[in-house]
């Protein structure tokens, strides 16, 4: 059915024809070491780690609460929209939001989002630049003789069923094979000899070795968490940790993954973990996913080599916890960005943290070896203070439960850096939230227009509720109300 003219006339257009990139502040190694060293005096022990319930307003950064509440109020209006109406209007207004992939080697859109993120930040080049440059020099010296292949490794964390890994193999397929004529073919052809056609010689430029850890479940046509074609690849090794579940919340599973990667030249980690959040809890999505976000981040920094790159999926950055995580990422990596890929739906809160130039490689495995060359000849640039190594392990082990998440990573440290907190985080939060609000408003206007025209996408199973004309304020829960009253009382005491 063709879209009615009232849709384009009444619904605001939210462009989705570009990938948005927001650079985070970069610290040199000396500044990063100074921040981390100063922070060691504030790191709490296991019993003192403070946690906040997901539904508590105190979980969210005070300066970002108005923006977060504005976005949450728009999401509340979607309660009156049927799922089939929402999907149809979304796909009509934003064609890139369709599920699935238009590429034969990708099973869904996730691979496109990874490709766009890595391309926008130069991570494809950063991942293998040094190794390929060294190899090119060797080939130039002797182009027709045997030369060793470059060994590159990546790890896909919570990536099942495997679209990220599919994209990496597809993007590097020109590196894994190089065709050239056999020795003597050109000379024979020039001499006029009768020579039967001979096949070109296929020689690998690089060997791409992938590792993956995801929950060992069957879903979306995937066996044991991964697509069958990935499981059948010689260059992909799934691992499920010590307990065989692939659960990255289990500390021993993180240790098992690190032990596998310690002997690999792993310079790329990608993480796409998440879970379904009900419509009623969409405004709590960021707080509810803090645990899986941190577990993926922790697994990645445990396995990356010096100079490595990282891509991690996030949902909003309103909580102090995730703002601290961005700050810590800026200390651990030379460069970091927040990216909204072109294929990422502008109606949702998804965005990606991308980083390159990892500079604390090896510090977790053996702090005494920091600064010494590893088996690949790499040395660390930044010695991570040993209290941080122990604290991050404690945070992964005890900082979360089913109803709450750790409130902070860097007590009394991150808040002092106004440049990072205000100029960087507030800027991309405002930009992406405004775009998401406009996109959701466009979907709601489209649904209203379709209802008024009587052109439903399908017959509704029951009478549909009216859509509120304005953004209703998100009601506070009892727990939030108590917190709000407590803050008001504290303000009154301070003013008196």
Among candidate residues 352, 479, 495, 447, the one with its CA nearest the CA of residue 87: 447
Tokens of 300: 């990645």
Q: Is 455 a catalytic residue?
A: no
Give the whole-angstrom CA distance, residue 270 versus residue 159: 8
- The backbone region for 196, taken as left when phi is positive above 0, alpha when psi lies in -120 to 50, beta otherwise, is beta
Q: Residue 2 to residues 12, 63, 455, 456: CA-CA distances in angstroms? A: 19, 44, 10, 12
Cα separations in angstroms, 296 against 58, 105, 223, 300, 398: 24, 26, 22, 6, 15
Distance CA 77, CA 345 (A): 18
CB 120 within 8 A of CB 343: no
Q: Which two tokens stand for residue 265?
A: 């030249």
Q: Give the active site residue among 313, 340, 372, 455.
A: 313
Q: How far apart are CA 26 and CA 29, in angstroms?
A: 10
3 state DSSP class of 92: helix
Annotated catalytic residues are 313
């Amino acid at each position: 059915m063709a879209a009615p003219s009232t849709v384009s006339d009444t619904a605001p257009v939210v462009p989705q024809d570009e990938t948005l990139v927001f650079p985070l502040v970069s610290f040199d190694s000396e500044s990063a070491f100074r921040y981390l060293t100063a922070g060691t005096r504030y790191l709490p022990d296991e019993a003192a780690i403070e946690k906040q319930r997901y539904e508590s307003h105190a979980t969210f950064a005070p300066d970002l609460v108005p923006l977060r509440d504005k976005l949450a109020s728009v999401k509340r209006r979607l309660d009156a929209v049927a799922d089939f109406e929402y999907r149809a209007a979304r796909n009509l207004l934003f064609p890139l939001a369709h599920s699935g992939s238009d590429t034969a080697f990708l099973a869904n859109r996730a691979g496109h989002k990874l490709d766009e993120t890595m391309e926008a930040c130069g991570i494809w080049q950063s991942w293998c630049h040094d190794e390929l440059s060294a190899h090119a020099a060797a080939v130039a010296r002797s182009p027709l003789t045997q030369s060793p292949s470059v060994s590159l490794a990546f790890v896909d964390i919570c990536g099942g069923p495997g679209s990220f890994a599919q994209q990496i193999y597809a993007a590097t397929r020109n590196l894994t094979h190089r065709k050239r004529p056999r020795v003597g073919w050109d000379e024979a052809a020039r001499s006029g000899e009768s020579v039967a056609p001979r096949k070109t010689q296929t020689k690998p430029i690089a060997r791409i070795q992938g590792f993956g850890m995801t929950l060992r479940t069957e879903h979306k046509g995937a066996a044991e968490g991964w697509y069958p074609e990935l499981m059948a690849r010689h260059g992909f090794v799934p691992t499920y940790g010590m307990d065989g579940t692939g659960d990255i919340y289990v500390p021993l599973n993180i240790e098992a993954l690190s032990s596998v990667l310690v002997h690999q030249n792993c310079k790329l980690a990608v993480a796409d973990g998440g879970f379904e959040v009900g419509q009623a809890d969409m405004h709590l999505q960021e707080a509810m996913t803090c645990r899986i976000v941190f577990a993926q981040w922790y697994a990645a920094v445990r396995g990356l080599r010096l100079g490595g790159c990282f891509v991690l999926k996030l949902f909003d950055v309103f909580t102090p916890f995730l703002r601290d995580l961005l700050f810590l990422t800026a200390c651990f990596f030379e460069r970091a960005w927040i990216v909204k890929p072109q294929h990422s739906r502008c109606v949702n809160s998804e965005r990606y943290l991308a980083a390159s130039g990892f500079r604390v490689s090896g510090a977790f495995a053996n702090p005494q070896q920091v600064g010494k060359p590893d088996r690949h000849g790499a040395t660390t640039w930044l010695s991570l203070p040993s209290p941080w190594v122990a604290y991050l392990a404690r945070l992964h082990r005890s900082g979360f439960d089913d109803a709450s998440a750790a409130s902070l990573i860097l007590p009394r440290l991150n808040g002092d850096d106004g440049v990072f907190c205000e100029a960087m985080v507030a800027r991309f939060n405002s930009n992406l939230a405004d775009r998401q609000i406009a996109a959701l408003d466009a979907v709601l206007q489209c649904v209203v227009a379709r209802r008024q025209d009587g052109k439903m996408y399908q017959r509704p199973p029951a009478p549909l509720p009216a859509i509120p004309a304005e953004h209703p304020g998100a009601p506070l829960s009892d727990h939030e109300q108590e917190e709000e009253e407590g803050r008001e009382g504290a303000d009154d005491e301070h003013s008196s």
